[in-house]
Amino acid sequence: MNIPSPALVTQRAVQRLPRLPLLLLCAAYLLPGLFGRDPWKSADITAFGYMAAIGEGRSPWLAPLVGQLPPEGPLLPHWLGAAFIALLSPLLEPALAARLPFALLLALTLALTWYSAFHLARTEAAQPVALAFGGEADTVDYARAVADGALLALMATLGLLQLGHETTPELAQLFAMALLLWGLAAATYRGVMARAAVLAALPLLAACDAPNVALAAGLVGTVVCLRSADAPMRRFAIWTGIGTLAALALTLALQHVRWRWHFTPNAAQLLQLGRLLSWFLWPVWLLVPLTLWRWRRHLLKRHIALPLGLALVGLAASIALGGSDRALLLTLPALAVLAAFALPTLRRSASAAIDWFSVFFFTAGALVIWVVYVAMQTGVPERTAANIARLAPGFTAEFSLVRLLAAAAGTLAWLALVRWRTARHPQALWKSLVLPAGGVALAWLLVMTLWLPALDYARSYRPWVQRIARHVGHDPACIAAPGMPRAAVAGLEYFGGWHVDARPRPATCPVLLQPDPGTTRAVPTLPGWRFVARERRPTDRDESVLIYRRATSAR
């Protein structure tokens, strides 16, 4: 039985989003933060530490060590960054070289999300209702407009901003989920390539430390295929099953079989989870419930069931890990596709509310960023400059004409976008997500240009290592650092160039670093060691270290 579609779309509503502005928007989203900054704490510098150790030849590929400690996660993402460091050295600094493949993974995730929505919107069940006197949207034009909306929805999500620009295994997991979504969406259109995508995506998820997600996502894909009304889609279930079995075999081979449950259903944890979902999934959490309600009679159809099932897998993984934002990252491609299917049913009042909220919120945010930047450069307003000096003691602002021009160009582009959206009333489906996506890109561009030196000072371990170097020097045989966080150990090795031993029982070293418990000002006395100094990160009072030298060592 054919169920009527809730989408009523004319040909005027599926006009194409101009490609040059769309590409510029993607560039403004992808490129800031790629150049001119250090790896940041904590996961970013930790993963980069292993990549640099491998790529620079300081550690073997099969058993990398940072501070004589093996990585806690899988090796495959570390090999990716290390390979680029080895290939591009000394043309590019290691931090930039390691960041390039992960920026490419983010770009591919954006593209795969677009094509996933495009193929799902071409299915028969997703088509808008035929109009009595004609004029309904063309199939391909309609699919393209929905795909444009999905891409804008993905870029508008706040959760993708920082995590999507790091060099961590979670970005490889995100790419694998987007690849799986595309493979299942394109199963009836791109036979061979879709099979290869599914066969690669599920083992890749397992190899990137997400075996439970890989098995659950493979099961969801298999069920969606088997329940499909299309015979080619039902035959595709065997490939999804093979991919799931391959992921299971790889999980057993790598001994990744483990079940982690850190969620406690109490009021505090539920409140924390609600806060995470509210900001991390903005603005798709506004549109996804609307999609599910308007398309409620189509929940078992592939264009709804597939992204919904994969999104639930990622959400379940996040809840199981106690509200993990990195696990929640895996839901974003599927949720963006679901949000896009709300656009054909979105009422004008809801669209206007999203537009005006975006205008006020992101314009106010841009104004704050500019005011803080002026205070850093000129000291005016004095109160803002005093707050910066208090939060980042020792920071000296630096001026860059290139960053200033990029920020000014982004701000002018935002004003032009606001004027275009408020002065005209386009009928395009994607219109409601232009301002949210543009506002997020603007905020990221401004922060990564105007605030970059201050953020680098606050989130990099370089200033902290420079403070320690005043007491340690640059040529100790080794530094013992038992109990130090892996991120700090990676920072010590990369920025200080020291050989660090962070094992519980380190080798004999002339220098010892110990975490400062911070409970008292009294310094613990260690037999055979002489206390030298206490140093903390300039912008973090809770992260302090005690520096000792062997009693027999010269100062």
CA distance 27 to 479: 42
Q: What are the residue ranges spanned by the domains of the chain?
A: 27-116+157-345, 351-439+452-459, 462-550
Instruction: Answer whether 337's CB lies under 8 Å from 287's CB.
Output: no
Long-range contacts of 377-383 (CB under 8 A, 24+ apart): none
| Distance between CA atoms of residues 227 and 223, nearest Å | 6
Rounded distance between C-alpha atoms, residue 359 and residue 421, angstroms: 10
Average pLDDT over residues 417-437: 85
Task: Give the single-character DSSP code of 255.
Answer: T
Going by their DSSP bridges, the two strands 544-550 and 529-536 should be labelled as antiparallel
What does the pLDDT average to over 371-399?
Answer: 92
Report d(CA 59, CA 80) in Å as an integer: 15
> 130 pLDDT exceeds 80?
no
Residue partners of 342: CB distance under 8 A and separation at least 6? 287, 288, 290, 291, 294
Distances (CA, A) of 323 to 189, 315, 338, 470: 37, 9, 22, 40
Look at residue 14 in the predicted model and tell me its pLDDT.
87
Report whether 442 contacts 366 (CB < 8 A). yes
Q: What is the pLDDT of residue 536?
A: 87
Residue 424 has pLDDT above 80, yes or no: no
> Which band of pLDDT confidence, cut at 50, 70 and 90, is reported for residue 555?
very low
Confidence band of 259 (pLDDT split at 50, 70, 90): low
Share of the chain above pLDDT 70, in %: 95
**Nearest by Cα to 38 from 463, 467, 512, 325:** 463
Q: Which helix (H) or strand (E) holds 490?
A: helix 486-496
Which pLDDT score, from 0 to 100, does residue 349 have? Answer: 85
436-462: average pLDDT: 95
- Interval 163-180: pLDDT, tens: 999 999 999 999 999 999
What pLDDT digit, counting tens, does each position of 41-52 carry? 889 999 999 999
Q: Is the pLDDT of residue 554 over 60?
A: no
What is the average per-residue pLDDT within 122-147?
A: 85
DSSP classification of residue 123: S
Q: What is the pLDDT of residue 133?
A: 62
CA distances from 367 to 24, 123, 478, 485 (A): 22, 44, 48, 37
Give the rounded distance of the alpha carbon of 553 from its chain centre.
Answer: 46
The answer, yes or no, to whether residue 282 has pLDDT greater than 80, is: yes
- Residue pair 237/222 in contact (Cβ under 8 Å)? The answer is yes
Copy the structure tokens of residue 51. 């990549």
Whether the Cβ atoms of residue 428 and residue 383 lie closer than 8 Å to each other: no
What is the rounded end-to-end Cα distance, in angstroms, of the chain? 85
* Euclidean distance between CA atoms 392 and 455, whole angstroms: 9
Residue 553 has pLDDT above 80, yes or no: no
Q: How far apart are CA 119 and CA 121, in angstroms?
A: 5
Residue 513 · residue 479 · CB < 8 Å: yes
DSSP codes joined into one string, 176-243 = HHHHHHHHHHTTTTSHHHHHHHHHHHHHHHHHTT-HHHHHHHHHHHHHHHHT-SSHHHHHTHHHHHHH
H/E element holding 511?
Answer: strand 511-515
* Nearest C-alpha neighbor of 473 from the set 511, 507, 500: 511
Distance of CA 182 to the CA centre of its chain: 19
User: What whole-number distance in Å separates Cα of residue 537 and Cα of residue 495?
Assistant: 14
Q: Are 260 and 210 in contact (CB under 8 A)?
A: no
- For the cut 90, the answer to whether the pLDDT of residue 11 exceeds it is no
Q: Which two tokens stand for residue 263?
A: 């969620």
Residue 136 pairs in a beta bridge with: 10
Burial-class residue 45 by CB neighbours within 10 Å (0-12, 13-18, 19+): buried
pLDDT greater at residue 158 or residue 424: 158
Residue 541 clears pLDDT 90, i.e. is over it = no
Q: Give the H or E element holding residue 244.
A: helix 237-254
Half-sphere exposure of 401 (CA within 13 A, CB side): 0
| Mean pLDDT for the chain overall | 91
pLDDT band at 72 (very low <50, low <70, confident <90, very high): confident
- In angstroms, the CA 225 to CA 239 distance is 10
Query: Pairing mode, if any, of strands 511-515 and 544-550?
Result: antiparallel
- Angle made by CA atoms 537, 481, 324, in degrees to the nearest 5: 65
On whether the pTM is more than 0.85, the answer is yes
pLDDT tops 90 at residue 134 = no
